[in-house]
Chains A and B, each alone.
Chain A
């Protein structure tokens, strides 16, 4: 009986909390449009638990709906993986919804097909234009300079080293080593205790690209190389610098004791549990992993939480560029179906929705509640109410490090599919880096140079 009562009570509390959720003020622009507007996105309520960007996105949508009661905004929400499949199908059949989230790497292909609206003028006419961090627009910009979306959600790093200061201090390191040579030395000491030095999970095949090579590559090639790849002005995957990056990656995973033996079979979600449980002294992943680990440790192991440190990827011995860099960006942008333009009133409503979901209402909400940043600068974020870990993360992400691009926000997805698949085999020593580079370049040539 007690159980039942507690269940009923819990239900009641949840029901009430659902009504009294936090809100954020959107600009109540006059919109003459009355009718349906369809928005497709992947911020499920599951996603928004603990993910500041999703929470802010959903909160801003709710506020916008309230400000525009005459517009029937229909949300089609799917989890991210399913969202990608469905949106690809809809794009193929030229049947995209009014407003949707465009992935950086699809921009050029979809723009060429006329699937997304050119928003260059809309963006420069935005009331918040002055506060935009314009660097975030690049993945959604075509070579001719047109912009096809308003970058959305929060900017977060994809390559961060999270380590346990106490464990490393015990082995004689005051901070996380800045070179891989030192990490290798440390690995000898850790493995003697049966501890993995760094936990990593590449089971989904995308992790090595987004959370490792994308940053490590910048240390060898510098940003000009990738910029040239995007613009197709001569850089190649087979260039010596990038092959050196692949070779070093293969060596680190295959020939050293640094990583957990099952790095190719587990996902980042499994690997970070190794760090949480103390089976690994450090972990490499993205900002989402940082959110998860901090949330878990704060609740379950306060001592370890306070010992958490963050660092950039160590520098390889044969790399000489940007040792303090990490990759950060916004992977998705609010995009509009060109067909919406047939009804100017509806278009105005869609544009207003895009402005608000990426504007100050969103930015100030995520800044105040999560110390995260988005497209629009929310002004000076008052960090004092956050604890040390959150402040450190904010400063590390947005202030103290050099930034570089997230590879798979750009270029055709087919190229990354080839690279990611082959790199997984490469880590097992089944293909050599030269072949991986050559096959990736072949795909690149097939798409851009044929």
Chain B
């Protein structure tokens, strides 16, 4: 009770400063947030424009809201939207599960367990983040070709999981280091086995960071282009971003149509993101540990 009173006292010391602060802080936040959401809004209304209208005026609202772009996309079987959507869903879903699981295991072990290969492994995963994918496409293709891993439904899991791991591992490692060791010590005194401690005590504690990793990686996997382009030649296995290139011409791009296509394909994850936003944020915050 006394604590609360003291806090109130502190807060009341400078009402003018507080008012200025409130305005400033909210203004900055709103400017930033609106700039962030603008691309989505812009894509949304631009996708209802016709190509020529868009080219003549890229920023204005459409005078006629014409769904023709959506009609064209959904009705053309060459775009094989559903097949590619399914491919993307499967690849992304499996990749995320594996990234989160592996990041947790490796991240925890690197943070907590003393063994000879600890630092070498850490450095190795660090190196993984430094691979310049775009200039390495040919060697990647050759390696995958030599082990006959091209054009399989699971081909893309390899790069997506592997290149998603370093970030996940580092975030988990950093996070676990911030958790007090008391809990695990208590468990080990109780005689709980390593695996049980890992899954029943640590895993729930790490939920905020694991949710964060999942969210960042979902979009990364869903949008990934270079690997999908090089490793998948079979049209039936193409993921969404690759199928999207069907909307590009050699000398002319129909931007509104591309945007419509982008929105259609982004829709599943964006809707999911907004729909579960509450839970996601709760998940990110829920794990606060008392120190």
Q: Do chains A and B touch in the complex (CB under 8 A)?
A: yes
- A residues adjacent to B (C-beta < 8 A): 3, 7, 10-11, 14-15, 18, 42, 44-47, 49-51, 74-82, 85-86, 88-90, 92-93, 95, 97, 268-269, 273, 276-277, 286, 288-289, 292, 296, 299-300
B56 adjacent to A277 (CB under 8 Å): yes
What residues on A are CB-neighbors of B194 within 8 Å?
none
A75 CA to B52 CA, complexed, in Å = 30
Evaluate contact between B68 and A51: CB separation under 8 angstroms: no
A-B residue pair count with CB separations less than 8 angstroms = 112
Q: Does B118 contact A (CB under 8 A)?
A: no
Q: Which of A79, A273, A299 contacts B250 (CB 8 A)?
A: A79
For window 71-94 of B, CB contacts with A under 8 Å fall at: 71-72, 74-79
A251 to chain B, nearest CB (A): 28
A286 lies within 8 A of B251 (CB): yes
In the complex, what distance in Å separates the CA atom of A277 from the CA atom of B71? 28
Chain B residues with CB under 8 Å of A79's CB are 245-250
Q: State whether A93 touches B251 (Cβ < 8 A).
A: no
B71 x A46 contact (CB < 8 A): no
In the bound complex, what is the Cα–Cα distance between A277 and B58 (angstroms)? 13
Q: How far is the CB of B254 from chain A (nearest CB, A)?
A: 7
| Given A11-B74, A14-B72, A277-B56, residue A76 in contact with residue B233 (CB < 8 A) | yes
- Listed by A's residue number, 9 A-B pairs whose Cβ atoms lie within 8 Å are A7-B71, A11-B75, A14-B76, A18-B76, A46-B246, A77-B246, A79-B250, A82-B229, A288-B250
The reply on B282 being an interface residue by CB < 8 A is no
- Interface of B, helix, strand, loop or mixed by DSSP: helix
Cβ 8 A contact of B245, one of A74, A82, A95: A82
Which residue of A has the minimal Cβ distance to B67? A7
Q: Is the CB of B247 within 8 A of A46?
A: yes
- A330 to B: closest C-beta gap in Å: 14
Contact B141 A93 (CB under 8 A): yes
Please, which residue of chain A has its CB at the minimum distance from the CB of B146? A93
Bound-state CA distance A18–B78 (Å) is 10
Which residues of chain B have C-beta atoms less than 8 A from A292's C-beta? 251-252
Residues on A with C-beta less than 8 A from B72 are 14
> A residues within 8 A CB of B71?
7, 10-11, 14
Q: Is B188 an interface residue (CB 8 A)?
A: no
6 A-B pairs with least C-beta separation: A288-B251, A80-B250, A79-B248, A79-B245, A14-B75, A47-B249
Cβ of B61 within 8 Å of any chain A Cβ, yes or no, is no
Which residues of B sit under 8 angstroms from A300, Cβ to Cβ?
Answer: 52
B141 touches A18 (CB 8 A): no
Q: How far is the CA of A335 from the CA of B142 in the complex (A)?
A: 23
In the bound assembly, the distance between CA atoms of A7 and B52 in angstroms comes to 21
A47 CA / B142 CA spacing, docked (Å): 30
Query: Which residue from chain A places its CB closest to the CB of B150 in the assembled complex?
Result: A95
CB distance from A335 to the nearest CB of B (A): 17
Indicate if the CB atoms of B74 and A276 lie closer than 8 Å: no
Residues of B within 8 A of A45 (CB): 76, 78-79, 246
Contact call A89/B77, Cβ cutoff below 8 A: no
Query: Beyond A82-B245, A269-B253: 6 further Cβ-contacts under 8 Å?
Result: A46-B249, A46-B254, A46-B257, A79-B247, A82-B229, A273-B55
Q: Does the CB pair A42–B250 fall under 8 Å?
A: yes
Tally of chain B residues near chain A (CB < 8 A)? 36
A77-B235, A79-B245, A92-B138 known; A299+B252 contact, CB < 8 A: no
Report Cα–Cα, A80/B248, bound state, in Å.
8
Cβ contact of B229, chosen from A51, A85, A268, A269, cutoff 8 A? A85
- In the complex, the answer to whether B142 meets A92 with C-beta atoms within 8 Å is yes
Q: Which B residues are in CB contact (< 8 Å) with A76?
A: 233-235
Contact B75 A269 (CB under 8 A): no
From A18, A74, A82, name the one whose CB has the most chain B CB atoms within 10 angstroms: A82
How long is the Cα–Cα vector from A220 to B224 in the complex, in angstroms? 47
A296 in complex: contacting residue of B52, B67, B233, B254, CB < 8 Å: B52
User: Contact string, B134-147, partner A, CB cutoff 8 A, digits 1/0?
Assistant: 00011001100100
With A14-B71, A93-B142, A296-B52 given, is the CB distance from A86 to B233 under 8 Å?
yes
- Provide the bound-state CA to CA distance between A273 and B254, in Å: 13
Q: Does B230 contact A (CB under 8 A)?
A: yes
Please state if A86 and B229 are interface contacts (CB–CB under 8 Å). yes
What is the CA–CA distance of A46 and B256 in the complex, to the nearest angstrom? 13
Q: When chains A and B are docked, how far (Å) is the Cα of A276 from the Cα of B72?
A: 25
Inter-subunit contact A276/B235 (CB<8 Å)? no
Contacts of A46 in B (CB 8 A): 246-249, 254, 257
Residues of chain B within 8 A (CB-CB) of A299 are: 52
- A92 and B141 contact, CB distance less than 8 A: yes
Question: In the complex, what distance in Å separates the CA atom of A269 from the CA atom of B251?
Answer: 8
CA A46 to CA B73, docked complex, whole Å: 10
With both chains docked as a complex, state the minimum distance between the C-beta of B232 and any C-beta of chain A, in angstroms: 10
Cβ–Cβ < 8 Å partners of A81 in chain B: 248, 250
Q: Which residues of A contact B254 (CB under 8 A)?
A: 46
A89–B138 CB distance below 8 A:
yes
In this complex, which of A15, A18, A93 has the most chain B Cβ atoms within 10 angstroms of its Cβ?
A: A93
Q: How far is the CA of A14 from the CA of B68 in the complex (A)?
A: 11
A347 to B247, CA, bound (A): 32
Q: How far is the CB of A77 from chain B (nearest CB, A)?
A: 7
Name which residue of chain B comes closest to A80, CB basis. Answer: B250
Check A44 against B249 for contact (C-beta < 8 Å): yes
Question: Which residues in B have their C-beta under 8 angstroms from that of A10?
Answer: 67-68, 71, 75
Can you list, as one digit per residue, whether each of B44-56 has a CB less than 8 Å from chain A (1) or not (0)? 0000000010011
Residues of A within 8 A of B233 (CB): 76, 86, 90, 97
Inter-chain CA distance A90–B257, complex, in Å, is 30
Chain B CB count within 10 A is highest, among A14, A88, A97, A276, for A14
Residue interface bits B245-286, CB-to-A below 8 A is 1, else 0? 111111111100100000000000000000000000000000
Other-chain contact of B230, A15, A86, A286 (Cβ < 8 Å): A86
B79 to chain A, nearest CB (A): 8
Kindly list chain B residues whose C-beta atoms are within 8 Å of the C-beta of A75: 235
In angstroms, Cα B251 to Cα A288, docked, is: 7
